[in-house]
Amino acid sequence: MLKNIPPILSPELLKVLCEMGHSDRICIGDGNFPGTAMAKAEGAILLRADGHGIPELLDAILQVFPLDAYVETPAMLMEKMERDKDLEIPVWEQYKDIIAKHDSRGETAVGAYERFEFYEQAKKCYCILQTGETAIYANIILQKGVI
């Protein structure tokens, strides 16, 4: 056990977060995200966080992980497809609130990729963290900054 480390962060995840350097990215995928396929595409590290939701993980990760101050939007969501344009995605508001708690830019630090561009970017991430999140369009990519 360690002091001041959120217990939701597994030893494996902490190791990966520590190994990551400036501008490396982690993709946190929801339960429907094809994490294994994305990780295999470019050799990303695949970690599992089954049974955990993304908001709780995001809050814990951002307690130890600085967002990149050298890019406009170091937190990237997956845009909705046209056929889903009327869907409400309340988890996005949770993400913005969590990011605002940890980054002075608040919700302006959050951007979005078109769905298939998100997949391409996810393949290039250092790590893909597959969660048990049940909300749709809940995927997020975080770019690491410096301390």
Q: Identify whether 22 is a catalytic site residue.
A: yes
Residue with token string 């769905």 = 115
- Active-site position among 22, 70, 84, 97: 22
Structure tokens at 79: 């845009």
- The helix/strand/coil state of 76 is strand
Q: Identify whether 68 is a catalytic site residue.
A: yes
Angle in degrees, CA 73, 22, 62, rounded to 5: 60
Q: Identify whether 97 is a catalytic site residue.
A: no
- Active-site position among 30, 59, 68, 103: 68
CA distance 119 to 87: 20
- Active-site position among 95, 119, 126, 137: 119
**Residues annotated catalytic, as ranges:** 22, 68, 119
